[in-house]
Amino acid sequence: MILILLGPPGAGKGTQAKLLSAEYHVPHISTGDMFRDHKARGTELGKQIQAIMDAGALVTDDVTNALVKDRLSRPDVADGFILDGYPRTIAQAEYLDGLLQSMGRSLTRVVSYDVAEEAIVERISGRRSCPKCGAVYHVSGNPPRRMGYCDRDGAGLVQRDDDKPENVKKRMAEYGNKTEPLKRFYRERGLLANVDGIGTPEGILAATKRILSK
């Protein structure tokens, strides 16, 4: 099971990736999480990408592809994996094709979560996450039991820098210009499936599983 999840920022890809990862027992690979981790640890890479990420722009293809190549060399991907936030450009998609080919593997499916722009802005502006465990909440849609604190570990929730309103516009533009063309790329290869991204996480998971069982 090798899946790519596509969709604009705030479409719920990360939530679905976590649920699908638990369901199919394969790792969830989020380039955004990996970059955020480097940033938090203050590594050389983290310093290099900090300003780009905070502005909502895309990290270069070379840097991103190298990160993914390294991740896919680990043994836990043997039964498959779920890519969340990668590929994001045609150049990344072509690189991934070559990488999978060299590994003797191929994509199972590309799931695109469709959500209208107005809904996205609402979702992103209310999103809060736990800096400790990565749990994601929404102030109205999926609030923690105690406002502002993680249900699992009590850590204070934060808003990602790139979820701040001024950066959301930039991310939407990056998505439209660079990532949206991937839908056609994968449609032409017969791999694309569209799932309505509006609904509860459980409902959207069920719709995704129906598509994957076909």
Interface characters, 103-142, with ligand AMP (x: CB under 6 A): ----------------------------------------
Q: Which of 162, 168, 186, 207 binds ligand AMP (CB under 6 A)?
A: 162
Residue 127 catalytic?
yes
Question: What's the rounded Cα separation, in Å, for the pair 61 and 59?
Answer: 7
Assess 210 for contact with Zn ion (CB under 5 A): no
Task: Write the CB contacts of 94 (distance below 8 Å, at least 6 apart in sequence).
Answer: none
Among 5, 6, 7, 9, binds ligand AMP (CB under 6 A): 9
Residue 152 interacting entry, from Zn ion, ligand AMP, none, C-beta within 5 to 8 Å by type? Zn ion
Q: Is 53 in the site for Zn ion (CB under 5 A)?
A: no
Q: Does 72 bind ligand AMP (CB under 6 A)?
A: no
**Taking CB under 6 A as the rule, does residue 163 contact ligand AMP?**
no
Active site residue 160: yes
The interface with ligand AMP within residues 11-40 (CB under 6 A) comprises: 31-32, 35
Q: For residue 139, give every residue at least 6 positions away whose Cβ sits within 8 Å of its Cβ, in sequence order, or none.
A: 126, 128, 147
Q: Residue numbers of the site for ligand AMP (CB under 6 A)? A: 9, 31-32, 35, 52-53, 56-59, 64, 85-88, 92, 162, 171
